[in-house]
Amino acid sequence: MVALSSLLVIVFIIIILYMLRFKKYKQAGSHSNSFRLTNGRSDDTELQSVPLLARSPSTNRKYPPLVVDKLEEEMNRRMADDNKLFREEFNALPVCPIQASCDAASKEENKDKNRYVNILPYDHSRVHLSSLEGVPDSDFINASFINVSDATSHWHQ
């Protein structure tokens, strides 16, 4: 009887130590300084929502283009101090109170194609895909054209 009790205590201690070690490992991984760019919907959530940031008055500050070779270094610099530089750059964007429709993105058939429920493309600037015969709303993707006036190459429809 004593041997069985001792064995149960040892197994219990091993389980607790394993759980504590796993918890410490999981926390260390979540506070990493590096970043991860993802594409697509997260497997652990069905529909995601992006919290919209409060905007302060915009400034006329210009931001130079990023050098690709130094992208990771620049991302880490901007993420420092709780993303302070990203917030400053975001607040420098002009506030555009546009009243445009998002009817295509709001259609029931297209809702699953939207990664976030509160970020939808405007109808006037959305990307139109080539339609597939017999597949309704196959021309929809949650993407918008962005006009870049100084670009050397141009998008063609």
pTM above 0.75, yes or no: no
How many whole angstroms separate alpha carbon 75 and alpha carbon 86? 9
Q: Sketch the domain layout of the chain as residue ranges.
A: 49-97, 99-150
Q: How far is CA 10 from CA 13, 16, 20, 23, in A?
A: 5, 10, 15, 20
Would you give the DSSP letter of residue 116?
B
pLDDT at site 157: 47
Tens of pLDDT, residue by residue, the chain (157 residues): 788 888 888 999 999 888 887 776 655 555 445 555 554 555 544 556 666 666 666 566 677 888 899 999 999 999 999 888 988 888 777 666 667 889 999 999 999 999 888 888 999 999 999 999 999 889 999 999 887 766 555 555 4
Q: How far is CA 15 from CA 2, 9, 10, 23, in A?
A: 20, 10, 9, 12
Contacts of 140 (CB under 8 A, 6+ apart): 104, 105, 107, 109, 110, 113, 126, 128, 129
pLDDT at site 54: 63
Burial class from Cβ neighbours inside 10 Å (0-12, 13-18, 19+) for residue 41 reads middle
How many whole angstroms separate alpha carbon 18 and alpha carbon 10? 12
Report the C-alpha dihedral over residues 110, 113, 118, 123, rounded to 10 degrees.
-60
